[in-house]
């Protein structure tokens, strides 16, 4: 089992086998034992199983292949709607339409989603975080009929792996992100050393070449996560969250 | 192992036994194989082991007992500092001082922290999310010498459990937070049914009585998570994040 954690990998191609509903229920039930802020469970998950709804969600995730051939799509939402309603029905005045409460809910739903991901993988399922949920949140929310105070945060595509599992993806050595007692900021020499292996990785070198870039970092800044897109989607998501009930400070 | 997920619990009291450094390193290394946005690993973790620094952190976590008697405190931070520096040193112009990038980093660090929590518990360690890191982030950041673009998000206290593990904490039935195809909003009758078991739980009934409240919901709104505190800490955290390099939309 310890071996699982050091070797796990994202799976983007799935067989045609359906994931049984009772297995998903069991995984979700266990995942809900993960830590949650004050036991409030500030999340909901929408399970998309129908072909029709998967096809409607796919373009909102830029038609990533994992999205199209998954057995199920699970959209994990930060949810203060249910908790607020419970308060109102119980003679209690809720005060959760604010930034801290949104942060609590986003932590809760992320912890829950990751616990789901781990248990699903341990049960032989393949999972892929789509990473696009916060870009097209307004359309996703509309499609899934999300009310106020329910914000889509994470989508996990899930199915049985089509192929055998590949080598785990390279990561930075722990020295790169572990600090003892105090944060130790990075000199150019340290950054060069910490990122050298990643830069020399054959797959990453291929990305640089294919994209006609000089450095791997440019693949990120110029193609994968550009300033222009980040700023467009920042405004969209920020405005959506505020319009949907969380009033952030001015 | 599947049994672990359905029975795990937060541990707030620890024995005097030290957690070996090489075990922590191994857990962190494995946790880093968890999913991360575009393999950017937008996080850092500060390990507090010294008595002196734990005593300085404790009041910033409102002197929670778990904080005081833990072997180690791990402060998990959303970190775009390292990635931005890597870009700048590699002739790439980063565009990450925005809301979407902050959200990517907060998801990355939460996934990483939760994977750490799971692996640590599976290795016999007891863990407790302190839940107060986003309240006193400015002081925590100052104490840990965090630079711009490094935002404290989660603190996990860790040690060997002092007592045998208790019953798992009650959770809502999955029907409460799972929606098929579309979000189904909650009527008063549904909320009453879904929360009945929680409200009748002996521990929760004791909370209501001890606090002279009429309902369990009032324990949350009037005592544990009040509107007034949420709004004070919303402004503090929001301003801190913006002051530290992430410029949110107006």
Q: Shortest CB distance from B87 goes to which of A8, A47, A220?
A: A220
- Check pLDDT > 70 for residue B1: no
Tally A–B CB contacts below 8 A.
341
Q: Residue A214: its chain B contacts at CB < 8 A?
A: 91
Among all residues of chain A, which has the CA nearest to that of B144? A182
CA angle (A169 as vertex; A165, A173 as ends), nearest 5: 140
Bridge-partner residues for B180, per DSSP?
A: A47
Chain segment A42-90, per-residue pLDDT in tens: 999 999 999 999 999 999 999 999 998 999 999 999 999 999 999 999 9
Does the pTM of the predicted model rise above 0.95? Answer: yes
Query: What distance in Å separates the CA atoms of residue A194 and residue B159, rounded to the nearest whole number?
Result: 30
Q: Calculate the average pLDDT of chain A.
A: 96
- Please indicate whether, in this complex, the C-beta atoms of A186 and B82 are within 8 angstroms of each other: yes
Q: Shortest CB distance from A178 goes to which of B45, B118, B239?
A: B45
- Length of chain A, in residues: 250
pLDDT of residue A164: 81
Give the domains, in start order, of chain B with CATH numbers.
2-166 (3.40.109.10)
- Please indicate whether, in this complex, the C-beta atoms of B100 and A234 are within 8 angstroms of each other: yes
Q: Residue A126: its chain B contacts at CB < 8 A?
A: none
Query: What distance in Å separates the CA atoms of residue A100 and residue A85, rounded to the nearest whole number?
Result: 19
Mutate to test the interface with B, among A4, A86, A239, A242 (most CBs of B within 10 A): A86
- Please indicate whether, in this complex, the C-beta atoms of A178 and B249 are within 8 angstroms of each other: no
Q: How far is B17 from chain A (nearest CA, A)?
A: 19
Q: Residue B182: its chain A contacts at CB < 8 A?
A: 46, 144-145
Q: How far is A188 from chain B (nearest CA, A)?
A: 7
Q: Which pLDDT band holds residue A1 (cuts at 50, 70, 90)?
A: low
Chain segment B219-231, per-residue pLDDT in tens: 999 999 999 999 9
Alpha-carbon B214 to chain mean position:
30
Note the ipTM here. Answer: 0.98
Query: What distance in Å separates the CA atoms of residue B106 and residue B189, rounded to the nearest whole number?
Result: 36
Query: What distance in Å separates the CA atoms of residue B7 and residue B12, rounded to the nearest whole number?
Result: 16
């Amino acid at each position: 089992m310890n071996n699982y954690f050091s070797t796990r990998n994202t799976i983007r191609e799935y067989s045609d086998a359906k994931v049984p509903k009772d297995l998903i229920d069991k995984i979700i039930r266990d995942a809900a034992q993960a830590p949650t802020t004050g036991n409030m469970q500030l999340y909901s998950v929408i399970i998309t199983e129908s072909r029709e709804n998967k096809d409607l969600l796919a373009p909102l995730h830029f038609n990533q292949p994992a999205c199209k051939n998954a057995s199920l799509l699970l959209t994990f939402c930060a949810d203060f709607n249910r908790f607020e309603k419970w308060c109102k029905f119980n003679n209690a005045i809720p005060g959760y339409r604010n930034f801290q409460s949104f942060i609590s809910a986003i932590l809760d739903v992320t912890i829950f989603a990751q616990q789901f991901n781990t248990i699903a993988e341990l049960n032989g399922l393949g999972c892929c975080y789509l990473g696009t949920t916060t870009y097209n949140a307004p359309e996703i929310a509309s499609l899934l009929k999300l009310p106020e105070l329910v914000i889509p945060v994470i989508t996990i595509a899930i199915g049985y792996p089509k192929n055998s599992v590949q080598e785990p993806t390279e990561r930075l050595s722990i020295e790169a992100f572990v600090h003892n007692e105090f944060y130790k900021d990075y000199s150019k020499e340290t950054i060069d050393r910490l990122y050298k292996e990643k830069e020399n990785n054959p797959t990453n070198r291929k990305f640089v070449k294919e994209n006609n870039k000089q450095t791997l970092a440019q693949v990120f800044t110029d193609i994968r996560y550009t300033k222009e897109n980040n700023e467009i989607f920042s405004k969209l998501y920020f405005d959506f969250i505020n319009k949907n009930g969380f009033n952030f400070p001015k």
